[in-house]
């Protein structure tokens, strides 16, 4: 055998650097997830609740429809409880207030685009002469946005894997609205048992959805909403500046110890 001198210092430095890089990557993608996917979940769940309220006023609110829409909302409530609890106990302190202001600001910024999609779906439904067009519109809109929230979750973590070479999604799997969508799909299908509704074939619906997709993932949207939400939490601006300095000091200590 040939004896070799292993440069343990270099190996240790590489391991330490890799550990810090993983920490930074995780924090970056976790933060970005809360800026993009979480507010889309919030919009989708709000539309689900609107559809539920509309269904309560209709003759359809019985048996399986009632059971499934209730189950969908319960699943959504469980997700929201988890989200707010996570925000309450996170390592940087209680951030529920900021989270709610961020999501409210995000919803307000997207409201016009969501309304355009709603009007587009309504026109399409009326073209098909479906019964209860207004109610069907509310249900289909909620279904579309719940579906997109799940698609966005998948696309986000796919992009993360492509950028980092790692799967960082496991911690956030419960934030995919899978159960909510599964329950609500049955409700939506009850309005279209013959599968004649295809919003992808309607150019207005497709255009409206394309605009929502672009705007939801836009850096401009994230920055504008974040800035507006921080306006309600001036203390967080100073805290963020101090945290950046502290992180730099921690990184230097971690890498040089």
Q: Name the least confident of 114-128, 135-149, 204-218, 242-256.
A: 242-256
Q: Are 113 and 212 in contact (CB under 8 A)?
A: yes
Spatial CB neighbours of 18, under 8 Å, sequence gap ≥ 6: none
Predicted confidence band of residue 23 (pLDDT cuts 50, 70, 90): low
Question: Rounded to an integer, what distance in angstroms lies between the CA atom of residue 68 and that of residue 51?
Answer: 12
Q: How many domains does the chain have?
A: 1
Determine, yes or no, domain membership for 63: yes
**Is 107 among the domain residues?**
yes
In whole angstroms, what separates CA 228 from the centre of its chain?
Answer: 19
Q: Model's pTM, two decimal places?
A: 0.83
Q: Does residue 220 carry a pLDDT above 60?
A: yes
**Span 25-50, pLDDT tens digits:** 777 888 899 999 999 999 999 999 99
Query: Rounded mean pLDDT of 11-25?
Result: 44
Residue 122 lies in a domain: yes
Min mean pLDDT across 24-28, 97-101, 173-177 is at 24-28
* Residue 80 within any structural domain of the chain: yes
Does a structural domain hold residue 4? no
Nearest-angstrom CA–CA distance, 14 and 143:
48
pLDDT at 114 over 90: yes
Does residue 69 lie in a domain region? Answer: yes
What average pLDDT does the chain have?
84
Distances (CA, A) of 131 to 127, 178, 192, 194: 11, 28, 10, 13
Whether residue 254 has pLDDT greater than 80 = no
241: in domain: no
Decide if 136 is inside a domain.
Answer: yes
Domain containing 149 equals: 41-231
């Amino acid at each position: 055998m040939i004896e070799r001198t292993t440069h343990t210092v270099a190996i240790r430095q590489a391991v330490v650097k890799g550990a810090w890089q993983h920490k930074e990557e995780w924090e970056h993608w976790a933060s970005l997830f809360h800026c993009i996917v979480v507010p889309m979940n919030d919009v989708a769940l709000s539309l689900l609740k609107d559809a539920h309220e509309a269904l309560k006023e209709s003759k359809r609110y019985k048996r399986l429809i009632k059971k499934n829409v209730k189950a969908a909302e319960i699943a959504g409530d469980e997700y929201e409880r988890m989200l707010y609890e996570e925000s309450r106990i996170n390592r940087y302190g209680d951030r529920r207030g900021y989270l709610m202001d961020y999501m409210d600001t995000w919803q307000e910024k997207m409201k016009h685009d969501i309304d355009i999609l709603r009007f587009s779906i309504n026109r399409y439904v009326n073209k098909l002469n479906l019964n209860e067009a207004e109610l069907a519109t509310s249900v289909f809109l909620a279904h579309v946005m719940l579906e997109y929230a799940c698609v966005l979750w998948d696309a986000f973590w796919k992009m993360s894997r492509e950028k980092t070479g790692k799967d960082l999604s496991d911690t956030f799997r419960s934030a995919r609205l899978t159960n909510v969508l599964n329950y609500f799909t049955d409700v939506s299908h009850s309005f279209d048992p013959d599968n004649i509704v295809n919003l992808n074939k309607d150019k207005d619906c497709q255009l409206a959805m394309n605009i929502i997709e672009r705007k939801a993932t836009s850096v401009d949207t994230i920055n504008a909403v974040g800035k507006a939400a921080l306006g309600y939490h001036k203390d967080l601006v100073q805290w963020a500046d101090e945290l950046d300095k502290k992180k730099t000091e921690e990184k230097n200590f971690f890498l040089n110890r």
